[in-house]
Amino acid sequence: MAPVLPIIDFGPFLDPEASLEAKKNVALELDRACRDVGFFYLKNHGVPLELMKAMLDSAREFFERATPEEKERIALKKTAEGGDNARGWLQVRKKDAGSHEAVDMYRPVQATGPPYITGMGPNKWPSTPANFKKLSETYVEKVTSLGNSVMKAFAMGLGVDDEIFLSRVDKAFWNLRILGYEGRKSKSKENAGIGEHTDFGILTFLMTDSTKNSLQVLDKTGEWIWADPVEGCYVCNIGDMLSEWTRNAYKSTLHRVCHNSDSLRISIPLFFDPNWDAFISPVLPPSSGESDEKTRGIRYRDTFIRAVEKPLWRDPLTPPDSS
Ligand SMILES: O=C(O)CCC(=O)C(=O)O
Ligand SMILES: [Fe+2]
């Protein structure tokens, strides 16, 4: 079945030879997708396909081969135990809300402990496979550079000064996450997946292996649609902060993973988020008649700490609640 989400060719925006009109067309296509569904496929994004494949292969190697001792060595720990509560390996086992394993790495910071402020500790890189850290650093550099270009395109589509965006993402607090979802043949009783949630940052660049029927997106009519992988493309989605930044013009859309296949599924989101201290307030004026008495704005680090301290997955099978 053809993908339902729009596929956006980002090539002209990155091409120094392309006309301004061609770039504007890309920006307008992106703008439409962000207002409409908040999810789109991005093709011709400039990240080498061999690098993407090498990342997926390496993450698979980690989930297939890392020993329990290695996982324990890099396990995410609570602040009181010396970790920063955000970086490292974790395993979620929730009967209804989906089980998965993940390793989270973030932009390196000048560590502030121990004990560490949430998010402010050192990364705990897997050592299986041996070149994982180096490969990931190359990958993060490419994707964060793409993130900057997409922000420029967003500014063009919205008709705002791109410096407002670029000055708040030049030290983007990125989060590289490798995720493994067990196949159904595994012995655990839980369903593999992630419960419905929105991402809390700006923009997620998701690449996955070729497994179909896993990621679902809630469309405007309230139906869950599949967002299956499209060869060579990222699945991108808007997070809550960009929604706030655009006065909710851009949608931060609920999604979930219900993994149905018999084999291990690998996915790697890179969450492209604002600078740690960035203050985000709407770049678009209130529409006529809408009051703007309440000063709106959020500091990224406050959002981050809140999100990390409360689990973001819920039961994948229930409709969104209103809280
Ligand atoms: O694995 C996927 O397809 C999506 C993961 C996801 O939504 C997340 O980690 O926020
Ligand atoms: Fe997500």
CB-based contact 66:180 (threshold 8 Å): no
Q: Which of ligand 1's atoms lies nearest the C-alpha of 102?
A: 9
Number of domains observed in the structure of the chain = 1
Q: What is the mean pLDDT of the chain?
A: 91
More confident residue, 270 or 81: 270
Residue 31 pLDDT: 98
| Contact 199 CB / ligand 1 (< 6 Å) | yes
Residue 97 pLDDT: 67
CB-based contact 298:244 (threshold 8 Å): yes
3-state secondary structure at position 206: strand
Domain with 130 in it: what CATH number?
Answer: 2.60.120.330
Instruction: Give residue-wise pLDDT tens across range 303-322.
Output: 999 998 876 554 443 333 33
Examine residue 320 and state whether it is found in any structural domain, yes or no: no
**Structural domain for 295, as ranges:** 7-308
Tell me how far the alpha carbon of residue 35 lies from the centroid of ligand 2, in angstroms: 18
- DSSP secondary structure of 160-186: S-HHHHHTTTTT---EEEEEEE--TTS
Mean pLDDT score, 51-76: 97
Q: Which of ligand 1's atoms lies nearest the C-alpha of 215?
A: 3
CA dihedral over 180, 184, 185, 186, signed as positive or negative: positive
Query: Who surrounds ion ligand 2 at CB < 5 A?
Result: 199
Instruction: Give residue-wise pLDDT tens across range 178-217.
Output: 999 998 766 666 788 998 999 999 999 999 999 999 999 9
| Contact 143 CB / ligand 1 (< 6 Å) | no
Q: Minimum-distance ligand to the CA of 216? A: 1
Instruction: Give residue-wise pLDDT tens across range 71-89.
Output: 999 999 876 667 888 999 9
Confidence of residue 34 (pLDDT cuts 50, 70, 90): very high
Helix/strand/coil (H/E/C) assignment for every residue in 80-107: HHCCCCCCEEEEECCCCCCEEEEEEEEC
With a pLDDT cut of 90, the percent of the chain lying above it is: 75
Confidence (pTM)? 0.94
ipTM: 0.99
Least confident of 107-116, 166-175, 281-290: 281-290
Residue 318 pLDDT: 37
Model confidence at 292: pLDDT above 50 = yes
Mean pLDDT score, 7-25: 98
Model confidence at 294: pLDDT above 70 = no
Protein residue closest via CA to atom 10 of ligand 1: 199
Q: Which of ligand 1's atoms lies nearest the C-alpha of 312?
A: 10
With a pLDDT cut of 70, the percent of the chain lying above it is: 90
Tell me how far the alpha carbon of residue 93 lies from the centroid of ligand 1, in angstroms: 16
Least confident of 41-50, 176-185, 231-240, 305-314: 305-314
For ligand 1, mutation pick of 208, 215, 253, 261 (most atoms within 8 Å of CB): 215
CA dihedral over 267, 273, 276, 282, signed as positive or negative: negative
Q: Tokens representing 189?
A: 């009783």
Sheet bearing 7-9, strands edge to edge: 7-9, 39-43, 234-238, 203-208, 265-272, 175-181, 100-106, 88-92
3-state secondary structure at position 8: strand
3-state secondary structure at position 262: coil
Beta-strand (E) ranges in the chain?
Answer: 7-9, 39-43, 88-92, 100-106, 175-181, 193-197, 203-208, 215-218, 224-226, 234-238, 255-258, 265-272, 279-280, 298-299
| Contact 208 CB / ligand 1 (< 6 Å) | yes
286, amino acid identity: P
Residue 260 pLDDT: 80
More confident residue, 190 or 17: 17
CB-based contact 85:118 (threshold 8 Å): yes
Q: Which of ligand 1's atoms lies nearest the C-alpha of 271?
A: 10
207, amino acid identity: M
Tell me how far the alpha carbon of residue 307 lies from the centroid of ligand 2, in angstroms: 12
Instruction: Give residue-wise pLDDT tens across range 146-169.
Output: 999 999 999 999 999 999 999 999
Residue 191 pLDDT: 80
For ligand 1, mutation pick of 255, 268, 312 (most atoms within 8 Å of CB): 255
| Contact 215 CB / ligand 1 (< 6 Å) | yes
Examine residue 210 and state whether it is found in any structural domain, yes or no: yes
Highest mean pLDDT among 93-102, 115-124, 207-216: 207-216
Model confidence at 256: pLDDT above 80 = yes
Examine residue 319 and state whether it is found in any structural domain, yes or no: no
| Contact 58 CB / ligand 1 (< 6 Å) | no
**CA 25 from chain center: how many Å?**
25
| Contact 227 CB / ligand 1 (< 6 Å) | no
Examine residue 142 and state whether it is found in any structural domain, yes or no: yes
Mean pLDDT score, 267-271: 98
Mean pLDDT score, 93-98: 73
Mean pLDDT score, 16-24: 98
Examine residue 96 and state whether it is found in any structural domain, yes or no: yes
Instruction: Give residue-wise pLDDT tens across range 244-253.
Output: 999 999 999 9
Tell me how far the alpha carbon of residue 269 lies from the centroid of ligand 1, in angstroms: 6
Tell me how far the alpha carbon of residue 22 lies from the centroid of ligand 2, in angstroms: 31
d(CA 278, CA 298): 8
Q: Minimum-distance ligand to the CA of 259? A: 1
Q: Which of ligand 1's atoms lies nearest the C-alpha of 177?
A: 9
Cβ contacts of residue 63 below 8 Å, gap of 6+? 101, 178, 180, 264, 266
Least confident of 41-45, 237-241, 281-285, 291-295: 291-295
